[in-house]
Amino acid sequence: MSKKIVFFFSLILFTTVMLAQTRPWQGKFEPIDNMITPPNSYRTASGAPGKAYWQQRADYKIKATLDEANNTISGEETITYHNNSPDDLSYIWIQLEQNVNKKGNEDFGAFFNSIKDSINTRQMQLLTRAIDFPAGYTIKYIKDANGNPMTSFVNNTMMKVVLKEPLKSGTSLSFSMAWSYPVTDRSMFFLSREGYEYFPGDDNAVYLIAHWFPRMAVYNDTEGWQNQQFQRLGEFALEFGDYEVEITVPEDHIVASTGSLLNGSAVLSRAQQERLKEAAESFDKPVMIITKEEAESNEKTKSTKQRTWKFSATNVRDFAFASSRKFIWDAQAVKLPTNTIMAMSFYPKEGLPVWKEESTKAIKNALEVYSEATFDYPYPVAISVNTSNIGMEFPMISFNGGRPKNGKISDRAKAGMIGTIIHEVGHNWFPMIVSSDERKWMWMDEGLNTFIHQRTVAERYPQFRSTTPKSIVPFMSGDKNILRPIMTTSDNEILTQFGNNFYMKPTVGLQMLRNSIIGPELFDQAFKEYSNRWKYKHPNPADLFRTLEDATAVDLDWFFRGWFFTTDNVDMELTDVKWFRVNEEELNTKDQKKTVKLKIEGENISEKAKDFSSGPESITMTSTPDTSYGGFLSRMDEPELRKQLSGKNIYVVTIKNLGGLVMPVTIEWIFTDGSKEIETLPAQVWRGNEYEIKRTFIKEKEVSQVNLDPNFEFADTDMRNNSFPKVEVPSEFDAFKSKQQ
C-alpha cells in the first residue's frame, strides 16, 4: 500500500473520530431486530402467523338478571376453556374488571386531579370518594364440572383458580361461577365505560352493561398469562369464543346486544317484528322500529314483570349489552360484497333529532370504508347506542356520546358525535377481530383504528376536519421531559398525553407511510395483508412492522425506530442554497488539456447569501486526469458533459436535521417565471450523515424560492427555517404553535 493511500485512509479515520466526538452516530438506519420480539415457529420473520401458531379459546354460557330497583346485576356462567397451547397449565387466571370500582382500589382520581384553590365537586369526589358507594364482585361460588368447589384467590381485578390436576395441552376444562355486583352511576367516574345513566326528568335510566362477567385472561406465546391489572386506561386482552347469553330485564325494557337475537317473537311486538323485516330490505334509509312517541309512552310506567332476551354470538372476544325503556330504535341493511349487515341505533329522546338523522348513516359509512380497507365485516349486526360523554367499543355494539341541547347541536359537536360513532364501530376490526392486547399496546388498536376512522371522515364527510400531519405538531414539539414513545404500555402514559401518543401519532405515522413514503396502492395492499393475516388472532407490534415491510419491499426500520421508539421530532432546516451557472471559457494549460471556468454573473460572495440577488457564484471544472479512471480504458465524453451543463443553473442545497427524526426531504422549487416543481429525496439520503446533508440539483430556469415540505407531509415542527430566502411562517402554523404554548 502506497504512502498516499495510507495517508488517505488515516485522514478518513481521523475525520470520522473527530466527527464522532462532536456528533455521535445514532444508528438511525440500523435494523430494529433487537427492539422487537424475535421470529420463531409461532410468528414468522415475514410478520405472518407461523405454522405452529396457537391461541386459547373460551366459550361461555351465561344467564344474567338486571335488578332495576336495586341497580344490581347477578349471573351464572359456565366457561369451557380450551388449552391449545403446548403447555400444561396448573392454574388459570380470570379477569374481574368490576373490582376496579371498589374503594381503596387503584383509581384515576388521585392520578388525574390534585387539590387546588378552586375545584369542582365532581373532581373532589374523584379525589376523596367522600360519597361512598358499593362496588365490585361478590363471587358466590366457583365449581368444577362435577359441582365440586374450586380453590381461588382474588388479587385486585384478577382471580387465580388453582386446578386439582394440570390442564393438559390439547384438552379443555369446563367450570361454573355465580356472581353479582352493584351497577355504578357513570357520573361518578372519569373514563367510566359502563354503568347506568340516570335521567331525572322521567325517572328512568339507560344501562350500559360491559366488562360485566368474569372473563378468561389471555395466555399466549409471548408473555404467558396476561396479568396486568385493569386500571381503566389500558383496556382488554381477551380470547375468542362462542356465547349463549340469556338476559332477564324488566318487561318494558328494550335490549341492544352483541350477537343475534334468538327469541324475537317472544320479546318484540308484532309491529316491531314486521318493521325489522322491512329494515332488512331497506338499503337506502333507516326504518323506525320504535318511534319517539312509542318510547315516550313506554317511559311513563315501570313494569314489575320480567322478560328474558336470548342472544348467541359466534367467534367473538367479548359480549356487552344496553337496556332501557327509553330507547328509540332504528335500523337499515348494509350490503357488502360478501355479507349483509343490519346497522342499528338505539337512543333516548334526548338524542333527537341528530341521532335519528346521523347515527345509522355513520354506521353504514364506517362498515363500507373499513371493509374496503381491510376485510368485509363478518358479523350480523352493528349497533350504536347513545350515552353521555364516552365512546366505547365491544363486538357488534358500541356506546357513543354526543347529544344536542334542547334539540340543537353545533356543527363541531355534530362532527364529534359522528366521528365517535365511526371510531367505535371501527373498533370491531381493531381490536375486536384483529385482536391486539389493549392492556399492553393501546396504540395497536387506537392508532390503527383512528387511521381508518380518519380515512372514513375524509372520504364520507369532507366538510369535517380530519387528522393530518399538522395535527401532531403541538404534541411533538412539546416538553421532552414528559413525552413518551408510542411503544409505551397503556397504563404508563401520562393522561394528558395519551390521546396524542396512542391515537394521533400512530395515525399520522401511517398516513406518512401511505401518502408519502410507500404510496397508497402498495401501502393499502400491505395494510390489508396485515389485517387478513391476523383476523381472529393476537398480533404484536413486531407482526405489524414485519408485515408492512414484507408486503411492500420497503425498508422501514428507520421509520419504526424513530417514530415509534423515540420522542424525536421532525425539524429540518434549509441552511443554505448556493447557486452556480455553467458558461464555458477555454483556457490553455501547459499540457493543452481543457479547463472550464464557471463564469461569474454576479460578485463573488464571501459571506453566506441570504437570497439570490447577488447572482451565481463561480467554480472551476477541469478535465478528468487519466489516473482517476483507474484500470478503465474507456473515457467519459467530457465535451458532451460540458455541453449538457452549458447555460444551466446548479443549486447546492444544505439541510440540517435539528429534530432528530430522519424523514424523506420534499423540496419545492419556485422559479422566477412563477412556475413550480416538487421533488422528493428518500429518507436514505441521511444514511451517511444523520445531522446534515448537501445535495446538488440542475435546473433549466432560475430559482426565486426554495421550500422544504411545502405540503406539510412530515409534521415539521418549525416551518420558520424551511425556506430560502426566509419567508414568514404561514398563519395556520402560527395557530398550531400558539395552541401548543
- What is the SS3 assignment for 633-683? CCCCCHHHHHHHHCCCEEEEEEEEECCECCCCEEEEEEECCCCEEEEEECH
Q: How far apart are CA 122 and CA 192, in angstroms?
A: 14
Rounded to the nearest 5°, which phi and psi values hold at 232? Answer: 80, -40
CB-based burial label for 668 (10 Å; 0-12, 13-18, 19+): middle
SS3 31: coil
Band of residue 12 on the pLDDT scale cut at 50, 70, 90 = very low
How far apart CA 707 and CA 726 sit, in angstroms, is 9
Domain that holds residue 7: 3-27
What is the reported pLDDT for 112?
A: 58
What pLDDT does residue 8 have? 41
Query: What's the confidence (pLDDT) of residue 593?
Result: 47
Kindly tell me if the per-residue pLDDT of 4 is higher than 60.
no
- Per the listing, cell 478535465 goes with 623
Asked if residue 255 belongs to a domain, the reply is: yes
Sorted by sequence, the CB contacts under 8 Å of residue 253 that are 6+ apart come out as: 66, 68, 307, 323, 324, 325
The answer as to whether 707 is a domain residue is yes
- Nearest-angstrom CA–CA distance, 662 and 211: 42
**Whether residue 398 sits in one domain with residue 249:** yes
Task: Classify residue 522: in a domain, yes or no.
Answer: no
Question: How many C-alpha atoms does 192 have within 13 Å on its Cβ side?
Answer: 21
Coil vs helix vs strand at 241: strand
388 secondary structure, DSSP code: S
Which is nearest to 507 in space by CA: 394, 432, 423, 433?
Answer: 423
Which residue, 475, 473, 532, is CA-closest to 499?
475
* Coil vs helix vs strand at 544: helix
CA separation, residue 658 to residues 214, 713, 716 (Å): 51, 17, 10
Predicted local confidence at residue 588, as pLDDT = 43
pLDDT computed for residue 605 by the predictor: 42
Last residue of a domain, one of 434, 451, 477: 434
Question: Residue 106 — very low, low, confident or very high, per pLDDT cuts 50/70/90?
Answer: low
Average pLDDT over residues 312-318: 98
Distance CA 616, CA 618 (A): 7
Among 672, 657, 673, which Cα is nearest to 708's? 657
CA-CA distance, 642 to 587, in Å (whole number)? Answer: 14
| pLDDT score for 190 | 66
The β-bridge partners of 172 are 82
Average pLDDT over residues 312-331: 98
Helix (H, G, I), strand (E, B) or coil at 244: strand
Where in 536-571 does DSSP place strands (E)? Answer: none
Q: What distance in Å separates the CA atoms of residue 544 and residue 447, rounded to the nearest whole number?
A: 12
Length of the chain: 741
Does 448 reside within a domain? no
- Pick 229 or 279 by higher pLDDT: 279
Q: What is the mean pLDDT of the chain?
A: 90
Q: Is residue 179 part of a domain?
A: no
**Which of 57-71, 269-283, 572-586, 679-693 shows the lowest per-residue confidence on average (mean pLDDT)?**
572-586
In tens, the pLDDT along 181-216 reads: 999 998 877 667 899 999 999 999 999 999 999 999
pLDDT band at 174 (very low <50, low <70, confident <90, very high): very high
Residue 267 lies in a domain: yes
The phi, psi pair for 324, rounded to 5°, reads -170, 155
Parallel, antiparallel, or unpaired: how do β-strands 204-209 and 241-250 relate? unpaired
Which of 178-182, 276-280, 291-295, 402-406 is least confident?
Answer: 402-406
User: What local confidence, expressed as pLDDT, does residue 732 receive?
Assistant: 47
In a domain, 319, yes or no: yes
Q: What percent of the chain has pLDDT over 90?
A: 76
Check residue 47 and give left, alpha or beta (phi > 0: left; psi -120 to 50: alpha): left
Bridge partners, 92 (sequence order): 161
Residue 522, phi then psi, degrees to nearest 5 = -70, -40
Whether the CB-CB separation of 527 and 549 falls below 8 Å is answered with no
| Count of structural domains within the chain | 3
The predicted-structure confidence for 416-439, as pLDDT tens digits, reads as follows 999 999 999 999 999 999 999 998
Residue 560 lies in a domain: no
Last residue of a domain, one of 408, 434, 460: 434
Distance between CA atoms of 114 and 119, rounded to whole angstroms?
A: 9
Q: Which of 673, 658, 671 is nearest to 718 (CA)?
A: 658
Three cell numbers written together for 493: 402514559
Pairing outcome for strands 321-324 and 340-347: unpaired
Q: How far is CA 111 from the centre of its chain?
A: 24
Query: Which of 434, 460, 492 is the last residue in one of the domains?
Result: 434
Q: At 522, is the pLDDT very low, low, confident or very high (cuts 50, 70, 90)?
A: very high
In tens, the pLDDT along 356-401 reads: 999 999 999 999 999 999 999 999 999 999 999 888 999 999 999 9
C-alpha 62 chain-centroid distance: 33
